[in-house]
Protein backbone atom coordinates (compact mmCIF):
# COMPACT_ATOMS: atom_id res chain seq x y z
CA UNK A 1 0.00 0.00 0.00
CA UNK A 2 1.38 3.43 -0.98
CA UNK A 3 1.15 5.83 1.95
CA UNK A 4 2.98 8.72 0.27
CA UNK A 5 1.32 12.06 0.77
CA UNK A 6 3.06 13.78 -2.15
CA UNK A 7 2.47 12.44 -5.65
CA UNK A 8 5.06 12.63 -8.47
CA UNK A 9 7.95 12.37 -5.96
CA UNK A 10 10.02 9.68 -7.69
CA UNK A 11 9.51 11.18 -11.14
CA UNK A 12 10.36 14.68 -9.91
CA UNK A 13 13.61 13.46 -8.34
CA UNK A 14 14.68 11.59 -11.46
CA UNK A 15 13.89 14.42 -13.85
CA UNK A 16 15.47 17.22 -11.86
CA UNK A 17 18.65 15.33 -11.00
CA UNK A 18 19.10 14.35 -14.64
CA UNK A 19 18.68 17.99 -15.63
CA UNK A 20 21.17 19.12 -12.98
CA UNK A 21 23.74 16.54 -14.02
CA UNK A 22 23.47 17.47 -17.69
CA UNK A 23 23.74 21.20 -16.92
CA UNK A 24 26.76 20.65 -14.68
CA UNK A 25 28.58 18.63 -17.32
CA UNK A 26 27.73 20.66 -20.41
CA UNK A 27 27.81 24.19 -18.99
CA UNK A 28 25.55 27.15 -19.71
CA UNK A 29 24.24 28.72 -22.88
CA UNK A 30 26.11 31.98 -23.56
CA UNK A 31 23.17 33.36 -25.55
CA UNK A 32 20.73 33.41 -22.65
CA UNK A 33 19.60 36.90 -21.71
CA UNK A 34 17.08 38.74 -19.57
CA UNK A 35 13.48 39.26 -20.70
CA UNK A 36 10.86 41.64 -19.38
CA UNK A 37 8.11 40.46 -17.04
CA UNK A 38 5.55 40.94 -19.83
CA UNK A 39 7.58 38.81 -22.23
CA UNK A 40 7.88 36.04 -19.66
CA UNK A 41 4.18 36.24 -18.87
CA UNK A 42 3.42 35.78 -22.54
CA UNK A 43 5.74 32.79 -22.73
CA UNK A 44 4.73 30.86 -19.60
CA UNK A 45 1.73 32.60 -18.02
CA UNK A 46 0.77 31.71 -14.46
CA UNK A 47 2.60 28.62 -13.27
CA UNK A 48 0.96 27.77 -9.94
CA UNK A 49 -2.36 25.91 -10.15
CA UNK A 50 -4.55 24.21 -7.57
CA UNK A 51 -3.91 20.64 -8.79
CA UNK A 52 -0.39 21.06 -10.18
CA UNK A 53 0.90 20.23 -13.66
CA UNK A 54 3.39 17.49 -12.83
CA UNK A 55 7.19 17.54 -12.81
CA UNK A 56 7.73 17.16 -16.56
CA UNK A 57 5.68 20.22 -17.53
CA UNK A 58 7.09 22.17 -14.60
CA UNK A 59 10.64 21.43 -15.70
CA UNK A 60 9.77 22.38 -19.28
CA UNK A 61 8.60 25.75 -17.99
CA UNK A 62 11.81 26.17 -16.05
CA UNK A 63 13.81 25.52 -19.22
CA UNK A 64 12.05 28.51 -20.76
CA UNK A 65 12.62 30.64 -17.68
CA UNK A 66 16.27 29.65 -17.45
CA UNK A 67 16.85 30.96 -20.95
CA UNK A 68 15.84 34.38 -19.62
CA UNK A 69 18.85 34.56 -17.29
CA UNK A 70 22.40 35.74 -17.85
CA UNK A 71 24.99 32.96 -17.93
CA UNK A 72 27.24 33.75 -14.95
CA UNK A 73 29.66 30.86 -15.39
CA UNK A 74 30.41 31.27 -19.09
CA UNK A 75 34.15 31.84 -19.70
CA UNK A 76 33.29 34.89 -21.81
CA UNK A 77 31.21 36.59 -19.12
CA UNK A 78 33.13 39.57 -17.71
CA UNK A 79 30.24 41.67 -16.41
CA UNK A 80 29.76 42.70 -12.80
CA UNK A 81 31.75 40.09 -10.83
CA UNK A 82 30.84 36.80 -12.53
CA UNK A 83 30.60 33.43 -10.80
CA UNK A 84 32.76 30.61 -12.19
CA UNK A 85 32.31 27.58 -9.90
CA UNK A 86 34.14 24.30 -10.37
CA UNK A 87 32.00 21.40 -11.53
CA UNK A 88 32.80 19.63 -8.26
CA UNK A 89 31.45 22.57 -6.24
CA UNK A 90 28.28 22.78 -8.33
CA UNK A 91 27.66 19.05 -8.05
CA UNK A 92 28.22 19.06 -4.30
CA UNK A 93 25.67 21.83 -3.90
CA UNK A 94 23.15 19.15 -4.87
CA UNK A 95 24.51 17.00 -2.05
CA UNK A 96 24.14 19.88 0.41
CA UNK A 97 20.49 20.30 -0.55
CA UNK A 98 19.80 16.57 -0.38
CA UNK A 99 21.52 16.24 3.02
CA UNK A 100 19.29 19.08 4.30
CA UNK A 101 21.46 19.78 7.33
CA UNK A 102 20.41 22.49 9.76
CA UNK A 103 23.68 24.37 10.10
CA UNK A 104 22.76 26.90 12.77
CA UNK A 105 23.97 24.98 15.79
CA UNK A 106 26.65 22.35 16.38
CA UNK A 107 24.19 19.87 17.90
CA UNK A 108 22.33 19.57 14.60
CA UNK A 109 25.11 20.01 12.07
CA UNK A 110 28.37 19.03 13.78
CA UNK A 111 29.92 17.10 10.89
CA UNK A 112 28.98 19.65 8.24
CA UNK A 113 30.04 22.59 10.41
CA UNK A 114 33.35 20.86 11.12
CA UNK A 115 33.98 20.70 7.35
CA UNK A 116 33.09 24.38 6.96
CA UNK A 117 35.45 25.21 9.80
CA UNK A 118 38.26 23.50 7.90
CA UNK A 119 37.82 26.15 5.20
CA UNK A 120 37.74 28.91 7.82
CA UNK A 121 41.02 27.58 9.26
CA UNK A 122 42.59 27.50 5.80
CA UNK A 123 41.67 31.13 5.22
CA UNK A 124 42.88 32.09 8.72
CA UNK A 125 46.28 30.64 7.89
CA UNK A 126 46.48 32.67 4.69
CA UNK A 127 45.47 35.80 6.61
CA UNK A 128 48.13 35.07 9.26
CA UNK A 129 45.43 35.32 11.92
CA UNK A 130 45.58 33.73 15.39
CA UNK A 131 44.28 30.25 16.07
CA UNK A 132 41.42 31.54 18.25
CA UNK A 133 39.88 33.47 15.35
CA UNK A 134 36.45 32.12 14.34
CA UNK A 135 34.20 32.28 11.32
CA UNK A 136 31.11 31.09 9.56
CA UNK A 137 29.39 31.21 6.18
CA UNK A 138 26.53 33.59 5.39
CA UNK A 139 24.65 34.30 2.17
CA UNK A 140 26.79 37.03 0.64
CA UNK A 141 29.08 40.01 1.13
CA UNK A 142 26.28 42.33 2.22
CA UNK A 143 25.24 39.91 4.96
CA UNK A 144 28.87 39.42 5.98
CA UNK A 145 29.63 43.15 6.11
CA UNK A 146 26.42 43.79 8.07
CA UNK A 147 27.28 41.20 10.69
CA UNK A 148 30.90 42.35 11.02
CA UNK A 149 29.95 46.00 11.42
CA UNK A 150 27.16 45.18 13.87
CA UNK A 151 29.79 43.37 15.93
CA UNK A 152 32.15 46.36 15.61
CA UNK A 153 29.49 48.78 16.80
CA UNK A 154 28.59 46.57 19.77
CA UNK A 155 32.27 46.26 20.65
CA UNK A 156 32.69 50.05 20.63
CA UNK A 157 29.54 50.52 22.70
CA UNK A 158 30.74 48.11 25.41
CA UNK A 159 34.24 49.55 25.41
CA UNK A 160 33.09 53.16 25.62
CA UNK A 161 30.66 52.34 28.42
CA UNK A 162 33.46 50.74 30.42
CA UNK A 163 35.70 53.75 29.82
CA UNK A 164 32.78 56.10 30.65
CA UNK A 165 33.68 57.89 27.46
CA UNK A 166 30.09 58.30 26.33
CA UNK A 167 26.82 57.94 28.27
CA UNK A 168 25.38 54.47 27.59
CA UNK A 169 28.29 53.89 25.19
CA UNK A 170 26.72 55.98 22.43
CA UNK A 171 28.25 59.26 21.22
CA UNK A 172 25.90 62.23 21.45
CA UNK A 173 26.00 62.75 17.70
CA UNK A 174 25.93 59.05 16.84
CA UNK A 175 28.33 56.35 15.68
CA UNK A 176 30.51 57.03 12.65
CA UNK A 177 31.95 54.65 10.05
CA UNK A 178 34.86 55.48 7.74
CA UNK A 179 34.81 54.27 4.13
CA UNK A 180 36.17 55.48 0.79
CA UNK A 181 34.21 56.68 -2.22
CA UNK A 182 34.84 53.30 -3.87
CA UNK A 183 33.69 51.16 -0.95
CA UNK A 184 30.94 48.79 -2.08
CA UNK A 185 27.51 50.40 -2.25
CA UNK A 186 26.10 47.84 0.18
CA UNK A 187 28.10 49.38 3.04
CA UNK A 188 26.16 52.64 2.76
CA UNK A 189 22.93 50.66 2.96
CA UNK A 190 24.29 48.79 5.98
CA UNK A 191 25.05 52.13 7.64
CA UNK A 192 21.36 53.03 7.33
CA UNK A 193 20.32 49.70 8.83
CA UNK A 194 22.73 50.15 11.75
CA UNK A 195 21.81 53.83 12.15
CA UNK A 196 25.40 55.04 11.83
CA UNK A 197 26.85 57.99 9.92
CA UNK A 198 29.30 57.54 7.06
CA UNK A 199 32.53 59.49 6.71
CA UNK A 200 34.14 59.28 3.27
CA UNK A 201 37.93 59.31 3.21
CA UNK A 202 39.91 60.84 0.36
CA UNK A 203 41.74 58.44 -1.95
CA UNK A 204 45.24 58.85 -3.38
CA UNK A 205 46.27 59.11 -7.03
CA UNK A 206 45.89 55.32 -7.34
CA UNK A 207 42.35 55.31 -5.97
CA UNK A 208 43.39 53.86 -2.59
CA UNK A 209 42.20 54.90 0.84
CA UNK A 210 45.26 55.49 3.04
CA UNK A 211 46.06 55.64 6.73
CA UNK A 212 46.71 59.36 6.47
CA UNK A 213 43.20 60.02 5.15
CA UNK A 214 41.70 57.81 7.85
CA UNK A 215 43.67 59.59 10.57
CA UNK A 216 42.37 62.96 9.38
CA UNK A 217 38.76 61.86 9.73
CA UNK A 218 39.33 60.28 13.14
CA UNK A 219 40.95 63.46 14.44
CA UNK A 220 38.12 65.61 13.09
CA UNK A 221 35.22 63.46 14.33
CA UNK A 222 34.03 61.90 17.58
CA UNK A 223 32.46 58.46 17.66
CA UNK A 224 34.36 56.63 14.90
CA UNK A 225 33.78 52.96 15.71
CA UNK A 226 35.11 51.22 12.57
CA UNK A 227 36.94 51.59 9.27
CA UNK A 228 36.10 49.52 6.18
CA UNK A 229 39.08 48.86 3.92
CA UNK A 230 38.50 47.19 0.56
CA UNK A 231 40.79 44.58 -0.93
CA UNK A 232 39.60 44.64 -4.51
CA UNK A 233 36.94 47.22 -5.39
CA UNK A 234 34.21 45.91 -7.65
CA UNK A 235 34.66 48.50 -10.37
CA UNK A 236 38.46 48.56 -10.74
CA UNK A 237 39.95 45.91 -8.43
CA UNK A 238 41.83 48.53 -6.40
CA UNK A 239 43.21 47.52 -2.98
CA UNK A 240 43.26 50.11 -0.21
CA UNK A 241 46.53 50.73 1.65
CA UNK A 242 45.68 48.22 4.36
CA UNK A 243 49.08 48.41 6.03
CA UNK A 244 48.93 52.13 6.80
CA UNK A 245 45.23 51.97 7.67
CA UNK A 246 45.79 49.09 10.09
CA UNK A 247 48.50 51.03 11.92
CA UNK A 248 46.17 53.99 12.43
CA UNK A 249 43.33 51.75 13.60
CA UNK A 250 45.64 50.07 16.10
CA UNK A 251 46.87 53.44 17.36
CA UNK A 252 43.32 54.69 17.97
CA UNK A 253 41.94 51.28 19.02
CA UNK A 254 39.32 51.32 16.24
CA UNK A 255 37.89 48.23 14.56
CA UNK A 256 39.25 47.50 11.08
CA UNK A 257 36.99 45.48 8.80
CA UNK A 258 38.26 44.14 5.48
CA UNK A 259 35.73 43.87 2.66
CA UNK A 260 37.38 41.26 0.46
CA UNK A 261 34.15 40.03 -1.11
CA UNK A 262 35.73 39.91 -4.56
CA UNK A 263 39.45 40.54 -4.16
CA UNK A 264 40.07 38.91 -0.80
CA UNK A 265 40.81 35.66 -2.60
CA UNK A 266 43.92 37.31 -4.03
CA UNK A 267 45.76 36.54 -0.77
CA UNK A 268 46.15 33.03 -2.21
CA UNK A 269 48.24 34.27 -5.14
CA UNK A 270 51.95 34.60 -4.26
CA UNK A 271 52.42 37.26 -6.93
CA UNK A 272 49.83 39.54 -5.27
CA UNK A 273 50.27 38.69 -1.59
CA UNK A 274 52.31 41.79 -0.72
CA UNK A 275 49.36 43.97 -1.74
CA UNK A 276 47.55 42.66 1.34
CA UNK A 277 50.20 43.54 3.93
CA UNK A 278 48.53 44.73 7.11
CA UNK A 279 45.54 42.42 6.73
CA UNK A 280 46.99 40.32 9.55
CA UNK A 281 46.06 43.17 11.94
CA UNK A 282 42.38 43.48 10.94
CA UNK A 283 39.48 42.61 13.27
CA UNK A 284 37.12 41.07 10.72
CA UNK A 285 37.26 39.91 7.11
CA UNK A 286 34.89 38.65 4.43
CA UNK A 287 35.39 36.88 1.12
CA UNK A 288 32.70 35.55 -1.21
CA UNK A 289 33.46 32.02 -2.49
CA UNK A 290 30.92 32.58 -5.28
CA UNK A 291 33.13 35.34 -6.65
CA UNK A 292 36.79 34.29 -6.92
CA UNK A 293 36.90 31.03 -4.99
CA UNK A 294 35.03 29.06 -7.65
CA UNK A 295 31.93 28.09 -5.64
CA UNK A 296 28.27 28.48 -6.70
CA UNK A 297 25.89 31.14 -5.41
CA UNK A 298 25.40 32.05 -2.62
CA UNK A 299 28.19 32.10 -0.07
CA UNK A 300 30.30 34.49 2.02
CA UNK A 301 32.94 33.48 4.54
CA UNK A 302 33.01 35.85 7.53
CA UNK A 303 35.94 35.64 9.97
CA UNK A 304 36.58 37.49 13.25
CA UNK A 305 39.83 37.84 15.15
CA UNK A 306 38.33 37.88 18.68
CA UNK A 307 35.57 35.35 19.56
CA UNK A 308 34.57 37.26 22.70
CA UNK A 309 33.37 40.27 20.72
CA UNK A 310 31.36 38.01 18.45
CA UNK A 311 29.58 35.90 21.05
CA UNK A 312 28.64 38.99 23.07
CA UNK A 313 26.93 40.39 20.00
CA UNK A 314 25.16 37.43 18.40
CA UNK A 315 24.49 34.60 20.87
CA UNK A 316 20.75 33.91 20.88
CA UNK A 317 18.85 32.83 23.99
CA UNK A 318 15.20 31.73 24.03
CA UNK A 319 13.08 29.12 25.81
CA UNK A 320 13.32 26.61 23.00
CA UNK A 321 17.07 27.24 22.66
CA UNK A 322 17.88 26.66 26.33
CA UNK A 323 19.43 23.27 25.55
CA UNK A 324 21.88 24.68 23.00
CA UNK A 325 25.51 24.24 24.02
CA UNK A 326 27.11 27.65 23.43
CA UNK A 327 30.56 26.30 24.23
CA UNK A 328 30.58 24.70 20.80
CA UNK A 329 31.21 26.46 17.50
CA UNK A 330 27.64 27.49 16.71
CA UNK A 331 27.33 29.51 13.49
CA UNK A 332 24.19 31.12 14.94
CA UNK A 333 26.46 32.81 17.51
CA UNK A 334 28.60 34.45 14.84
CA UNK A 335 26.30 36.47 12.57
CA UNK A 336 22.79 37.80 12.12
CA UNK A 337 21.15 34.46 11.40
CA UNK A 338 19.81 31.33 13.06
CA UNK A 339 18.45 29.04 10.35
CA UNK A 340 21.07 28.39 7.70
CA UNK A 341 22.09 25.82 5.13
CA UNK A 342 25.70 24.66 5.26
CA UNK A 343 26.62 26.81 2.28
CA UNK A 344 30.36 26.51 2.88
CA UNK A 345 30.39 22.84 1.92
CA UNK A 346 30.61 23.21 -1.89
CA UNK A 347 33.86 25.17 -1.43
CA UNK A 348 35.10 22.61 1.10
CA UNK A 349 34.40 19.70 -1.28
CA UNK A 350 36.05 21.46 -4.20
CA UNK A 351 39.11 22.37 -2.11
CA UNK A 352 39.45 18.83 -0.80
CA UNK A 353 38.98 17.44 -4.31
CA UNK A 354 41.42 19.64 -6.23
CA UNK A 355 43.80 20.82 -3.50
CA UNK A 356 44.63 24.36 -2.37
CA UNK A 357 47.50 24.75 -4.85
CA UNK A 358 45.07 24.42 -7.72
CA UNK A 359 43.18 27.36 -6.26
CA UNK A 360 46.31 29.49 -6.05
CA UNK A 361 47.17 28.55 -9.64
CA UNK A 362 43.66 29.42 -10.85
CA UNK A 363 43.80 32.87 -9.26
CA UNK A 364 47.26 33.44 -10.72
CA UNK A 365 45.86 32.48 -14.15
CA UNK A 366 43.16 35.14 -13.82
CA UNK A 367 45.73 37.75 -12.78
CA UNK A 368 47.91 36.82 -15.76
CA UNK A 369 44.96 37.02 -18.16
CA UNK A 370 44.18 40.53 -16.91
CA UNK A 371 47.79 41.63 -17.46
CA UNK A 372 47.86 40.19 -20.98
CA UNK A 373 44.60 41.88 -21.87
CA UNK A 374 45.78 45.22 -20.45
CA UNK A 375 48.99 45.00 -22.44
CA UNK A 376 47.10 44.31 -25.67
CA UNK A 377 44.87 47.31 -25.04
CA UNK A 378 47.89 49.55 -24.43
CA UNK A 379 49.44 48.43 -27.70
CA UNK A 380 46.29 49.11 -29.73
CA UNK A 381 45.75 52.37 -31.56
CA UNK A 382 42.04 52.86 -30.90
CA UNK A 383 41.70 51.66 -27.28
CA UNK A 384 43.00 53.27 -24.10
CA UNK A 385 43.77 51.55 -20.80
CA UNK A 386 42.23 53.62 -18.01
CA UNK A 387 44.50 52.25 -15.28
CA UNK A 388 46.90 49.38 -14.74
CA UNK A 389 45.01 46.42 -13.24
CA UNK A 390 45.72 45.80 -9.56
CA UNK A 391 44.02 42.42 -9.58
CA UNK A 392 41.87 40.90 -12.32
CA UNK A 393 39.68 43.82 -13.45
CA UNK A 394 40.69 45.61 -16.65
CA UNK A 395 39.20 49.08 -17.20
CA UNK A 396 39.52 50.61 -20.67
CA UNK A 397 37.77 52.86 -23.16
CA UNK A 398 37.36 53.32 -26.89
CA UNK A 399 38.66 56.64 -28.12
CA UNK A 400 35.89 58.92 -29.49
CA UNK A 401 33.03 56.66 -28.29
CA UNK A 402 30.06 57.97 -26.33
CA UNK A 403 27.66 56.08 -24.06
CA UNK A 404 25.36 55.07 -26.93
CA UNK A 405 28.30 53.55 -28.79
CA UNK A 406 29.34 51.50 -25.78
CA UNK A 407 25.77 50.29 -25.21
CA UNK A 408 25.29 49.30 -28.85
CA UNK A 409 28.57 47.37 -28.90
CA UNK A 410 27.83 45.63 -25.61
CA UNK A 411 24.26 44.64 -26.53
CA UNK A 412 25.18 43.25 -29.93
CA UNK A 413 27.99 41.05 -28.63
CA UNK A 414 25.89 39.86 -25.69
CA UNK A 415 23.00 38.76 -27.92
CA UNK A 416 25.44 36.99 -30.23
CA UNK A 417 26.81 35.12 -27.21
CA UNK A 418 30.38 36.20 -28.02
CA UNK A 419 31.24 38.19 -24.92
CA UNK A 420 29.43 39.89 -22.03
CA UNK A 421 31.12 43.19 -21.22
CA UNK A 422 28.99 46.04 -19.88
CA UNK A 423 29.69 49.78 -19.73
CA UNK A 424 30.59 51.28 -16.36
CA UNK A 425 32.04 54.62 -15.29
CA UNK A 426 34.87 56.13 -13.26
CA UNK A 427 34.32 59.63 -11.90
CA UNK A 428 31.56 60.14 -14.45
CA UNK A 429 33.58 58.94 -17.46
CA UNK A 430 32.11 55.99 -19.36
CA UNK A 431 34.40 52.96 -19.58
CA UNK A 432 34.29 49.26 -20.29
CA UNK A 433 35.51 46.74 -17.75
CA UNK A 434 36.47 43.10 -17.94
CA UNK A 435 36.44 41.09 -14.71
CA UNK A 436 38.64 37.99 -15.16
CA UNK A 437 37.45 35.40 -12.64
CA UNK A 438 37.31 32.27 -14.76
CA UNK A 439 40.58 30.33 -15.27
CA UNK A 440 38.99 28.58 -18.27
CA UNK A 441 38.83 31.84 -20.23
CA UNK A 442 40.74 31.79 -23.54
CA UNK A 443 42.64 35.08 -23.29
CA UNK A 444 43.63 35.12 -26.96
CA UNK A 445 39.98 34.84 -27.94
CA UNK A 446 39.07 37.71 -25.62
CA UNK A 447 41.80 39.97 -26.97
CA UNK A 448 40.85 39.26 -30.58
CA UNK A 449 37.19 40.07 -29.95
CA UNK A 450 37.97 43.27 -28.05
CA UNK A 451 40.44 44.57 -30.61
CA UNK A 452 38.49 43.65 -33.74
CA UNK A 453 34.95 44.59 -32.73
CA UNK A 454 35.86 48.03 -31.37
CA UNK A 455 37.58 49.27 -34.53
pLDDT digits (tens, 9 = 90+) for 154-174: 999 999 988 888 877 889 899
| Co-location of 361 and 323 in the same domain | no
pLDDT reported for residue 43: 94
**What percent of the chain has a predicted confidence (pLDDT) above 90?**
90
3-state secondary structure the chain: CCCCCCCCHHHHHHHHHHHHHHHHHHCCCCCCCCCCHHHHHHHHCCCCCCCCCCHHHHHHHHHHHHCCCCCCCCCCECCCCCCCCCHHHHHHHHHHHHHCCCCCCHHHHHHHHHHHHHHHHHHHHHHCCCCCCEEEEECCHHHHHHHHHHHHHHHHHHHHHHHCCCHHHCCCCCCEEEEECCCCHHHHHHHHHHCCEEEEECECCCCCECHHHHHHHHHHCCCEEEEEEEECCCCCCCECCHHHHHHHHHHHCCEEEEECCCHHHHHHCCCCHHHHCCHHHCCEEEECHHHHCCCCCCCEEEEECCHHHHHHHHCCCCHHHCCCCCCCCCHHHCCCCCCCCCCCHHHHHHHHHHCHHHHHHHHHHHHHHHHHHHHHHHHCCCEEECCCCCCCEEEEEECCCCHHHHHHHHHHHHHHCCCECCEEEECCEEEEEEECCCCCCCHHHHHHHHHHHCC
| Co-location of 320 and 422 in the same domain | no
| Co-location of 366 and 317 in the same domain | no
pLDDT reported for residue 165: 83
Q: 380: pLDDT confidence band, cut at 50, 70 and 90?
A: very high
| Co-location of 17 and 157 in the same domain | no
| Co-location of 139 and 287 in the same domain | yes
Q: Which of 187-201, 258-272, 308-322, 346-360 has the lowest mean pLDDT?
A: 308-322
pLDDT reported for residue 166: 85
For residue 263, the enclosing domain spans 95-354
Residue 339 lies in a domain: yes
Q: Is the pLDDT assigned to residue 244 strictly greater than 70? A: yes
Give per-residue pLDDT as tens, 107-129.
999 999 999 999 999 999 999 99
CATH number at residue 403: 3.90.1150.170
| Co-location of 211 and 125 in the same domain | yes
Number of domains in the chain: 3
Give per-residue pLDDT as tens, 333-349.
999 999 999 999 999 99
pLDDT reported for residue 2: 62
pLDDT reported for residue 5: 87
The mean pLDDT of 393-409, rounded to a whole number, is 97
Question: At which of 51, 77, 103 does a domain end?
Answer: 77
| Co-location of 337 and 372 in the same domain | no
Q: 356: pLDDT confidence band, cut at 50, 70 and 90?
A: very high
| Co-location of 117 and 203 in the same domain | yes
Strand 284-287, strand 255-259: pairing: parallel
Torsion from C-alpha of 405, 411, 412, 418, nearest 10 degrees:
120
| Co-location of 65 and 100 in the same domain | no
pTM (2 d.p.): 0.95
pLDDT reported for residue 79: 95
pLDDT reported for residue 315: 86
CATH number at residue 342: 3.40.640.10
The mean pLDDT of 223-238, rounded to a whole number, is 97
Amino acid sequence: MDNKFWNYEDEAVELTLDWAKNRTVTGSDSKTTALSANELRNKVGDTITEDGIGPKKALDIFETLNKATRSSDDPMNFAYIPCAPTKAAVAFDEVVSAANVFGGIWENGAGAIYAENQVVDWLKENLNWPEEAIGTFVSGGTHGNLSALACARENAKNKWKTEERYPKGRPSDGYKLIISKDTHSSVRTIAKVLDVDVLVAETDENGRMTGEAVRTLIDENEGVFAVVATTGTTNTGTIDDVQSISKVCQEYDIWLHIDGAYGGAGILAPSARDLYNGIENADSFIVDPHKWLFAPYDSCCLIYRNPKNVYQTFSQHAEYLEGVDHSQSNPSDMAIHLSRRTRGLPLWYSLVTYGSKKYSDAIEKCLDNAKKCAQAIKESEHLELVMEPTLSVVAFKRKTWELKDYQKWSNELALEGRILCLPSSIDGEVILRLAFLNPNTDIDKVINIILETTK
